[in-house]
Chain A
Amino acid sequence: DTGVSQNPRHKITKRGQNVTFRCDPISEHNRLYWYRQTLGQGPEFLTYFQNEAQLEKSRLLSDRFSAERPKGSFSTLEIQRTEQGDSAMYLCASSTGEPFVNQPQHFGDGTRLSIL
């Protein structure tokens, strides 16, 4: 079990630039989640994949955000035209599970995004 891997660990960019983060889940996990966490807060749900299908997106996920999981393995989260408010830690998690069955989620250590 190599765990959930996220790259890069840190990203500093200027406002208005596009950024892309990558998440490699635990290999046998069919579910993949993206969360956003700001200082002093718990993670907030952004979106969720079951295999390659994106099943749900939070209203927090504006049209500047897009996520993909093309082959049901790794996932990317892209933010276009970044804004100051996008500065946060972006966490990826994966889990096994049947539909409607809650399973523990395994988190990566996140990508910290800083917008200058």
Chain B
Amino acid sequence: SQKIEQNSEALNIQEGKTATLTCNYTNYSPAYLQWYRQDPGRGPVFLLLIRENEKEKRKERLKVTFDTTLKQSLFHITASQPADSATYLCALDMWHTGTASKLTFGTGTRLQVTL
């Protein structure tokens, strides 16, 4: 079965620095990979989607890379702010099961941005 690994330890960085979060998977390369943000007590909020034939995607201060050879995605937040503090979830589609729209989520990485 597909395993998704995200750093379970919290990532603490200083305001203004770039935060880099890692998502590794073990088996099937997804056709799509998505990143979500989740605040305590709230549902996940979609941030970015990257397709298997895309190397990089950007949106404002966010950047996602996707390396199917390494089976890894990196998520970057530049010029981080305390408001970026949240848990960030990586999610892969399950196309190999016949349902492309079904997502498998990692456990998430908690980001804490301090002043």
What residues make up the interface of A, taking CB atoms closer than 8 Å to B? 4, 31, 33, 35, 40-45, 48, 55-56, 91, 93, 95, 97, 99-110
CA separation between A20 and B91, bound complex, in Å?
27
Interface size of B in residues (CB-CB distance below 8 Å) = 28
B103: which of A45, A100, A106 is its contact (CB, 8 Å)? A45
- B104 to chain A minimum Cβ distance, whole angstroms, is 7
Known pairs A31-B101, A48-B99, A95-B101; A107 contacts B107 (CB<8 A): no
B46: which of A33, A40, A91, A106 is its contact (CB, 8 Å)? A106
**Known contacts A44-B105, A45-B103; 14 further A-B pairs (Cβ under 8 A):** A42-B106, A42-B108, A45-B94, A45-B104, A100-B95, A101-B100, A102-B31, A102-B34, A102-B95, A103-B101, A104-B34, A105-B103, A107-B36, A107-B45
B20-59 CB contacts (< 8 Å) to partner A: 31-32, 34, 36, 41-46, 49
CA separation between A40 and B89, bound complex, in Å?
11
